[in-house]
A and B are shown apart, each in its own frame.
Chain A
C-alpha cells in the first residue's frame, strides 16, 4: 500500500547569484508523516523549506502540495509563475514557523492568531477568536491571549507562532529551525508541542539540529549536503547506520 503523497518536491534548483544552493532536490512526504531534515549549515535545507511555500521562487523543478502546484501553473507545455494573489491564497494551506518566531510585536497574542484567518480566509471575527483561544489552550498559553509578544519568553513566543500557523488549518506545517533561537531550557516546551502535533498525524517538515528529537518523532530523516539529498530513510537507518560517508561525518560532529 502506498501512502497518499502530501508534499511532492521534484528536481528543485535554486541559485542566489552564482551560488547554486539547491541542485536538484527530490523529496516526497506522505500525508500525516513527520519528515526531519538534517544537514550542515549551507546545505540548502532552509532554502528548500522556504521553496515549499514559494517564499523563494524556483529556478527549475516544482513543488506540489496535495496535487496542486505551488507558485506555478502548468499550461502550454510551460510552468508559469502565479500572480501574487494566488500564491498568497495557496500559502494559507501551508503553515510556516520561523526560527525567529516573527510574531507581529504591535499586536496582542490573540490578534496575531486572528489576523490571517480574518483577512486571508474571510472568517468571521468571533469564530476566528474562538478558534484562536482553543489553539492557545492547546499550546498551553490560554492565559496569554491579551499579552504582547515581547512580554513572553522565547519558548512561549514560538508556541504562539505555532498556534498562529495552525489557525489557518494548514495541510502541511513547515518548521525552520524552530528551537535554534531558544535558550536550552526552553527548547523542551516547543518540542513538546511539535510532538503533540505529530501524534495528531499532522503532516510536518522540520528543519532542525535536534538529533534526539528526530530519532523520537520523525518517520523519515533526510540528510542534505551541498544542495542535494544525500540519503533518507527511517531514523534508525539514517541515524544509526548511515550509508554515506558525509552523513557519518556530520553525525559524528553533532552527536
Chain B
C-alpha cells in the first residue's frame, strides 16, 4: 500500500483520494510487553505458591508466635528505642546543624568534628563502648569545668544497658540528622532570609516561621529514611542483650529450634511498622507541601472516595477509551 502526500496535491492512497484527517487512529500494539508481563506473573505465582506450600516456612508456628506477649513486648521495646533515638537524635542533630550554620568558626569546627567522629565510628563499636563506659569513668558528676563536682553519680546506676543503647543510637543518629537538617536549610532560597531580614522579622522567628517550614520539604524524605533505617537498625542492640524484637526472636528460636518461622515473625512486624511509618510520612510531607503546588494532589483516601462516587478512578479517561475501543 502506498500513500502519497505531496504539498499542493490532495493525498491519495493507491491512486484514490482519501481524507486522512477524518480517519480514526488505531493505537500501536505491543505484544512483547504482554509476553514479558505474563512471564513475570508466572514467576511471582511460583514464589507465592512456594510460600504457601513449602512446609519449611512453618506457618502454624509463625501464627502461634506472631502476637504472643513476649513478641509484643519486644516490639514495644523496639518502638521505644526508635522513638528515643529519633527524638533525641534529631534534637541534638538540630543543634549540631545550627552550630555548623552559625557564623562562628569555632562552633562550625566543633559541629564538623562531631559529625566526622560519629559518622566514622561504626554504630556497633559505639554501642559496646557506651555499654562499658563505667570501665573508663566509674562516677559521673556535674560541676565546674576542671573544678569540683556538685553532684556525682555511679555510672552503672544511671547508664544501664537500655540507657547506653539509647545514648549510642541518639548520638549516632544526631550526626546524620545534622547533615539532613543542614541540607534542608541550605535548600531554601537565600531570598527568603533576605526578605525576612528586610521586613525586620526577629532572628529566631525567621528560622522558625520562614526558613524551617520550607526546609522541611527537603528534610522530610531523608528524615523518614533515617527513622525507618533506625527502626530496623535497633536490631543491632541485640549485642547488649536488650529484649527488642530481633533479640527476642533469637531467644525463642534458640529454645524451640524454629529459626525460619520466627525470623518471619520479626520480618512481619518490621514490614508492618515500616508501612505505617511510610503512610505517616506521606501525610506529613503533604502538610509541608502547602503553597508549593497550585492544586495539592488528592490523598489516597480522597482518591478512593472519588472512585466510589464516580465508579471510576481519578483520571482514567484514556484507559477507559482504550479498553472500550
Interface residues of A (CB under 8 A from B): 53, 55, 84-85, 88-92, 94, 96, 98, 100, 102-108, 115-116, 119-121, 148-151, 164-165, 168
Contacts and interface: CB of A to CB of B under 8 A. Distances in A.
A91 B192 contact: no
Which one of A90, A120, A165 has the highest number of Cβ atoms from chain B below 10 Å of its Cβ?
A120
A53 B196 CA distance: 13
A72 B195 CA distance: 21
Which one of B191, B201, B213, B288 has the highest number of Cβ atoms from chain A below 10 Å of its Cβ?
B201
Interface of B: 189, 191-192, 194-203, 205, 209-210, 213-214, 288, 290-294
Nearest to A103: B195
Contacts of A116: 199-201
B21 to A, nearest CB: 35
Given A98-B195, A119-B202, 11 more contacts: A55-B197, A88-B201, A92-B200, A94-B198, A98-B191, A98-B198, A106-B292, A115-B199, A150-B292, A150-B293, A168-B199
A165 B199 CA distance: 7
B202 A88 contact: yes
B214 A105 contact: yes
A52 to B, nearest CB: 11
B200 A89 contact: yes
Contact of A115 (B198, B209, B290): B209
Contacts of B292: 105-106, 150
Which one of A102, A107, A149 has the highest number of Cβ atoms from chain B below 10 Å of its Cβ?
A102
A149 B200 contact: no
B294 A106 contact: no
Contacts of B288: 106
Q: 9 closest Cβ contacts across the A-B interface? A: A102-B195, A92-B200, A116-B199, A148-B291, A96-B198, A120-B200, A102-B191, A91-B200, A106-B291
Contact of A119 (B197, B205, B293, B294): B205
A164 B210 CA distance: 15
B194 A102 contact: yes
B319 to A, nearest CB: 30
A120 B199 contact: yes
A90 B290 CA distance: 32
Contacts of B192: 102, 104
Nearest to A100: B191
Given A89-B200, A119-B201, A107 B291 contact: yes
A107 B205 CA distance: 14
14 contacts: A55-B197, A88-B197, A89-B200, A91-B200, A94-B198, A96-B198, A102-B195, A104-B196, A105-B291, A106-B290, A115-B199, A116-B200, A116-B201, A120-B200
Contacts of A94: 198
B214 A91 contact: no
A165 B213 CA distance: 22
Which one of A106, A116, A120, A121 has the highest number of Cβ atoms from chain B below 10 Å of its Cβ?
A106
Contacts of A149: 291
A120 B201 contact: yes
B195 A104 contact: yes
Contacts of B290: 106, 148
A162 to B, nearest CB: 13
Contact of A91 (B191, B197, B203, B205): B197
Contact of B203 (A84, A150, A168): A84
A150 B189 CA distance: 15
A148 B290 CA distance: 8
Contacts of A102: 189, 191-192, 194-195
A91 B202 CA distance: 11
Contacts of B191: 98, 100, 102
A64 B288 CA distance: 41
Contact of B210 (A91, A100, A104): A104
Contacts of A165: 199
A55 B191 CA distance: 11
A119 B204 CA distance: 10
A200 B200 CA distance: 24
Contacts of B200: 88-92, 116, 120-121, 168
A90 B198 CA distance: 10
B199 A106 contact: no
B294 to A, nearest CB: 5
Contacts of B201: 88, 115-116, 119-120
A105 B291 CA distance: 6
B202 A98 contact: no
B219 to A, nearest CB: 14
A88 B198 CA distance: 7
A55 B205 contact: no
A106 to B, nearest CB: 4
Contacts of A107: 291
A115 B201 CA distance: 8
A119 B203 contact: no
A26 to B, nearest CB: 24
A216 B209 CA distance: 40
A183 to B, nearest CB: 18
A149 B191 CA distance: 15
A65 to B, nearest CB: 13
Given A55-B194, A98-B194, A104-B210, A164 B199 contact: yes
A148 B104 CA distance: 36
